[in-house]
Structure 1
Amino acid sequence: MPTSENTFHLGLTMAGAVSAGCYTSGVIDYLFEVLDLWEKAKRGNVQGIDQNLVPKHNVIIDAMGGTSAGGMTTIISTLYALKGKLKPVKKIPENPMENQNVLYDSWVHLDDNEEKTFKKIWDVDDLDGELTSLFNSKVIDAIATKALDMGGDVNDFESYVSENLPRFISKDLEILLSHTLLRGIPLSVDFKTEIARRLKNSPMHNTFEHYLVSHFKLNSGNPVNENSYLWFNPFKEKYSDKIKLSTISTGAFPIGLAYRKFDNTQFSDEYIKSVTRRVIFGDFGSENPDVNHDIELNNYPENYSSISVDGGAINNEPYREVGSILRSKFHKDENEYQNYGLIMIDPFPDNDDIERKYKEPKNLLKVVPAIIQTLWNQAKVKRKEMLEQYNHDFFKGVIYPIKHRIINGEYKGRDKNPIISASFNAFGGFLDVNFRVHDFFLGRNNARNFVQYFGCIPYDPDNGNVHPIHREWTNEMVEKFKVSRRGDERIFLPIIPDLNLLLEGKEPGDDKYNYTYKGKPKYNPSELFKLKDNIYNRFKKVLDKGFDSFGEKTEEESETPISDALIRREYRRNWFQRMGDNVKSWVVGKFKNPVKKAIASMLSKFVIKSILEDLEQMEVLDDKAN
């Protein structure tokens, strides 16, 4: 029976990934597999496993959060768990388009059918209205709609959760998705003196919060206070619509994919105020953060609405938010063992090259992009997280792409480009289903190595250092699952014992260099050249829309009519200038279309060339193909 002593609580954070959601879903597939296998074995429901070797402690996932593709996978993982019957994808299907589970089907299949997803993102059937994105984003809607299909209605959600949710998932699971709002929430810093407080209008320092979190709670299947939380109930349209909107909007990669709109018909003003306070204090573990002074949102606009884009524009790894839930619920005194931990899944971890020389921008054309990069980096800086890593002693680990190269039985080092989805600025996974299959199984293999080796904590009984979850382990259990590291006399035991080791008669680390997908798939460049016209047409249509919208004149009444009149009088154009305007308009009209065609052709060539170069560096380009 779970107790505070024999239970370890986990939070999962899934970083932004664009098309590499296939990698993240592979990681989740393996984590859920080993947790489910372990739970079944503890109840004696797995043949071929010696019960004397089955550890009896518990691991429960209490919170999951993510951004972009990581946020979408967070939702899909929750839906997968709610379905009750887990079906891990252990082997590469002969037909990659065969249905497996919602993790695999959503991220490996994407929206492939008779027409491939990569072709669909260049379709122009979304450009009849406003120009909202560089790529056609209907595929994202299709993927979300398919994933959210739970196959029917459920009236008694509380009973459904109790009967179907795996034992390793908390019935009070909390789910966080991050968003970037283009219209910030106004915040004020009060500089009023005691005398100034008597004035009705006294200046204050104003700032804006552009970071929003969709904070869902499963709540054992019971409704929540909607002024503070969002109810995760995918069976009721009112709530599933909010889940879908949050899922799609967290993945709205800026410019590339269509932005989404939030307003108070989906998220009440009180909810947005409540979650904004949690964002500011960094405390998502309580409905109302415990602070000395509440934040007053006096300038909060009525009937608030905003465009939302990918949360990764501000926070691509919302691990502090997930960690705050765990700390609030489970943190103990500093001299006690902490019984919670955080695992981040990051397909594209940031690795700063300290040997890279700084190149100082020499002119304005180079300063401008440097400013943009500076603002983006500064928006994502994690000051509080850096300080808290020294103040909170709990388990933290990261699962990321790594693949070792073994050629003819000889070790050749790490693959410099282990994840194919990283190509084409992280959109490369859309290119080919076999790329996604490779990355999915790489995720599974990396998760296996993490669970068996890296996801371990010290076990040193001679010096009294034994975590409570390991105190009931027998010597046989310790011998079976223990690992060691070079230069350290201690041994380590896993938080999650991988009982596949018992079924397969293996030791931890036996499969460290063993990958389900051997090598890498090859891509025939002719498949890309077939889409040359599609890519060109998309760019041409986007340019058409862009030129048209740029030239539109609004009918709004001027706010500065006197200034406008003065400018018109001072710069009144003579007959010759007006004739020049007419000639210029004729020239622009005559040559605008050829110019747009030339630009579209240049852009399409640039995209194809960039993709081919990326694939060549990934060593997946089939140079023998015609």
Structure 2
Amino acid sequence: MSEATYPVTPQVAVDKIFPLTQPGPAPHTFELALVLGGTVSAGCYTAGVLDFLIEALDAWAAAIAQDDKDNPGAPTVPRHKVLIRVVTGTSGGGVNAVLLSRALSYVYPPASVQTAPELRAKNPFYQIWVNAIDIDGLLATDDLDGATTITSLLSGKPLAAAAASGISFDSGQAAARQYVANPLPVILTYTNVAGIPYKQMFSGQTGRAEYFVNHADFVRFAIDIQGALPTPQYALAPDSFEVGNQTQDMLAWSGMSSYALGTAAFPVGLPAVQIARPAGHYAYRYILPNSGQGVYSPQWLVPEWSLFVQPDSDAGSKYAFVSLDGGCTDNAPIGLAHDVLAGIAPARETSGSKVNRAIVLIDPFTDVPNFAALPKADLVSILFPTINCLIQNNRFNSADLAAFTDGSDFSRFLITPSRKNAKGDALTGGDAIASSGLAAFLGFFSWQYREHDYMLGRRNCQAFLKSWFTLEPDNVVFNMLKPPAVETPPNSGKFEVPIIPLYGSALAEQPSPEIPGKFDPDSLEDQIEARADKLLRVAADVDSAGWLARQAYKVVIGIASSKAADKVVKVVQAATRDSKLLNPK
């Protein structure tokens, strides 16, 4: 009998496929990696940021085109370039990464406060995050019709419908955005419930080994951006799914949609997603030992194939698993973005006069953690804190987060919510948005909450581009014509130059959105009770019971679902009451 075969480990050195250092950008070009952190319903904030960012880049490109006509040979608009080199995302950030990768190929209207509602609905970010995903759909019960098992407390159908809408977005007008790498690498992280097994052999007794399982998984895509110039100088990773923009490519987009749903599958609240991918992709994982004095020797990380792949498999054989929210294991995939942008070695240029590429982390949750109150030890009270502690711990370990708060490091930038409440208190992070309560599920309960956070994202992005996304005036990126310098921080006497100058519609001030009023959770009590009733019926397998048992179940379940609804309403009321934005003390 022949020996069993498995996917083959690459026969070339790691750095031949994943360079230790990526080649530098073209002259007068600033390369950008977007990292979209975990969000749940706060994805509406990230969506607003992305909407304004694309509007600003489009307006700058339009200003250059008009300047060429009006001032041939004597330009008045800065001509350095910005290139979005890679996008990574997790949880709601992963959903936004997929939306962005689709939307970049098409023209659509920005969704500002001044935009008419019917035009806002044509903006994919606004339509998906503000209009489409709402508590009414999440509390619907049609997903439980005929069900024999419970997959989640909330219905996953609205998210599936939103994902299908996002990947099929087509405004009918192709764009030609030259500020995007083509193909564009998009990387989503997710939590692989089964995981990938590895074995470490030890010296001594023969056969002694330690087994490890990695649940922090990720998937790469290479997106064909319609109308963008090819960037062949950047080689694709061999484990990338290539996704085009023609009709025949919808199957590939559908596969990408499954990963978007998988990375957003918040445990217990939303359904886990079953996914299958080529097992051979896992042959392209590596580790980067430091040999000392900054010398790195990358090595292939070879899975223990026999534990999760059938014998005689090849690189195309499928490995099936269940995916949960990527934020549980990597809530801010900075390292994956760095590897594409700068190379797998950790070294990078940070000087404001020399840096020509940077990571921008968009993260709605950077607020100070609350240690004032200990959670109760009962099952219900400890559930969300347990999930949250996993997310917070992995956020701590995500990557070099300290660099984002280092004012002297020009290779890392952060966009996070910022505004004042009705009392004039300055709020940041989750405190500044309406959707942060209930483990970031609160935004699903109110259209006004999502609208507020979306518009705040646009406002914060404008302020970021105008005053914070800057380099020193003598930076190598700028050619002879550079944007006017700005004082940053204000009143510091220090002047720097914006990387993305604002023109056209991006110049119009984005107003601070009105603070939304608190909605009435009592209005949802009937829907919550109906959902709880259906969940309990499925759990108790009522439909298969005899007539007498069904009558007894009906009474018991009716009482239990009523109490559950009352409890949920009180929890939602507490979340709005505890909000520093909605209810300033």
After superposition, give the CA deviation of every residue in 1:187-239 in whole Å (9 maximum; x if it has no partner).
1112145x83xxxxx23100101121120012678999896111122531331
User: Aligned with 1:403: secondary structure?
Assistant: strand
After superposition, give the CA deviation of every residue in 1:68-92 in whole Å (9 maximum; x if it has no partner).
1110011101111111x24212334
- Specify whether residues 47 and 33 from structure 1 end up closer, same or farther in structure 2 by C-alpha distance, changes over 3 A only: farther
- The Cα shift of 1:435 comes to 2.1
Q: Which residue of structure 2 aligns with residue 243 of structure 1?
A: 256
- Specify whether residues 375 and 139 from structure 1 end up closer, same or farther in structure 2 by C-alpha distance, changes over 3 A only: closer
Q: Which residue of structure 2 aligns with residue 559 of structure 1?
A: none
**Percent identity at matched positions?**
22
What amino acid does structure 2 have at the position aligned with 1:23? Y
Give, in whole Å, the separation in 1 of the partners of 2:575 and 2:372: 23
Q: Which residue of structure 1 aligns with residue 316 of structure 2?
A: none
After superposition, give the CA deviation of every residue in 1:267-298 in whole Å (9 maximum; x if it has no partner).
11102443xx15x559xxxxxx9624553534
2:309 pairs with 1:295: no
Give, in whole Å, the separation in 2 of the partners of 1:379 and 1:3: 31
- Specify whether residues 595 and 227 from structure 1 end up closer, same or farther in structure 2 by C-alpha distance, changes over 3 A only: farther
Q: Which residue of structure 2 aligns with residue 268 of structure 1?
A: 278
2:545 pairs with 1:545: no
What amino acid does structure 2 have at the position aligned with 1:59? V
Q: Which residue of structure 1 aligns with residue 179 of structure 2?
A: 168
Q: Which residue of structure 2 aligns with residue 521 of structure 1?
A: 516
Q: Which residue of structure 1 aligns with residue 157 of structure 2?
A: 138
- The Cα shift of 1:48 comes to 10
2:458 pairs with 1:444: yes
Q: Structure 2 matches for 1:384-533, cutoff 5 A?
A: 385=400, 394-405=410-421, 413-414=426-427, 417-459=431-473, 466-473=474-481, 477-478=483-484, 481-485=485-489, 488-500=492-504, 515-517=511-513, 519-525=514-520, 528-533=521-526
Q: Which residue of structure 2 aligns with residue 318 of structure 1?
A: 333
What amino acid does structure 2 have at the position aligned with 1:529? D
- Specify whether residues 139 and 374 from structure 1 end up closer, same or farther in structure 2 by C-alpha distance, changes over 3 A only: closer
- Specify whether residues 92 and 516 from structure 1 end up closer, same or farther in structure 2 by C-alpha distance, changes over 3 A only: farther
Query: Aligned pair count?
Result: 530
- The Cα shift of 1:620 comes to 8.3
Whether the 8 Å CA contact 1:49–1:503 is kept in 2: the answer is: no
Q: Which residue of structure 1 aligns with residue 88 of structure 2?
A: 65
Give, in whole Å, the separation in 1 of the partners of 2:216 and 2:258: 16
Give, in whole Å, the separation in 1 of the partners of 2:526 and 2:401: 48
Q: Which residue of structure 1 aligns with residue 56 of structure 2?
A: 34
More deviation, 372-381/37-46: 372-381
- The Cα shift of 1:186 comes to 0.7
- The Cα shift of 1:543 comes to 2.1
User: Aligned with 2:30: secondary structure?
Assistant: strand
User: Aligned with 2:41: secondary structure?
Assistant: helix
After superposition, give the CA deviation of every residue in 1:397-442 in whole Å (9 maximum; x if it has no partner).
11111113578xxx66448942111133322222232222211111
- Specify whether residues 98 and 484 from structure 1 end up closer, same or farther in structure 2 by C-alpha distance, changes over 3 A only: closer
Give, in whole Å, the separation in 2 of the partners of 1:119 and 1:360: 29
- The Cα shift of 1:532 comes to 1.8
RMSD between superposed Cα atoms in Å: 4.1
- The Cα shift of 1:593 comes to 5.0
**TM-score using structure 2 length:** 0.78
Q: Structure 2 matches for 1:117-128, cutoff 5 A?
A: 117-127=134-144, 128=146
User: Aligned with 2:181: secondary structure?
Assistant: strand
Whether the 8 Å CA contact 1:15–1:347 is kept in 2: the answer is: yes
User: Aligned with 2:104: secondary structure?
Assistant: helix
Which ranges in structure 1 are unaligned for 5 or more consecutive residues?
112-116, 154-159, 197-201, 283-288, 460-465, 505-510, 553-586
Give, in whole Å, the separation in 2 of the partners of 1:467 and 1:103: 34
More deviation, 245-254/443-452: 245-254
User: Aligned with 1:299: secondary structure?
Assistant: helix
- Specify whether residues 136 and 443 from structure 1 end up closer, same or farther in structure 2 by C-alpha distance, changes over 3 A only: same
Whether the 8 Å CA contact 2:403–2:409 is kept in 1: the answer is: no
- The Cα shift of 1:393 comes to 5.6
Give, in whole Å, the separation in 2 of the partners of 1:388 and 1:468: 22
- Specify whether residues 619 and 311 from structure 1 end up closer, same or farther in structure 2 by C-alpha distance, changes over 3 A only: closer
- Specify whether residues 333 and 307 from structure 1 end up closer, same or farther in structure 2 by C-alpha distance, changes over 3 A only: closer
Q: Which residue of structure 2 aligns with residue 569 of structure 1?
A: none
What is the aligned counterpart of 1:209 among 193, 209, 214? Answer: 214
Whether the 8 Å CA contact 2:437–2:576 is kept in 1: the answer is: yes
- The Cα shift of 1:301 comes to 1.6
2:559 pairs with 1:598: yes
Give, in whole Å, the separation in 2 of the partners of 1:484 and 1:419: 25
Q: Structure 2 matches for 1:45-60, cutoff 5 A?
A: 53-60=76-83
- The Cα shift of 1:4 comes to 2.3
**TM-score using structure 1 length:** 0.74
Give, in whole Å, the separation in 1 of the partners of 2:181 and 2:501: 19
- Specify whether residues 497 and 281 from structure 1 end up closer, same or farther in structure 2 by C-alpha distance, changes over 3 A only: same
Q: Larger Rg: 1 or 2?
A: 1
What amino acid does structure 1 have at the position aligned with 2:166? A
User: Aligned with 2:342: secondary structure?
Assistant: helix
- Specify whether residues 45 and 106 from structure 1 end up closer, same or farther in structure 2 by C-alpha distance, changes over 3 A only: farther
Q: Which residue of structure 2 aligns with residue 255 of structure 1?
A: 268
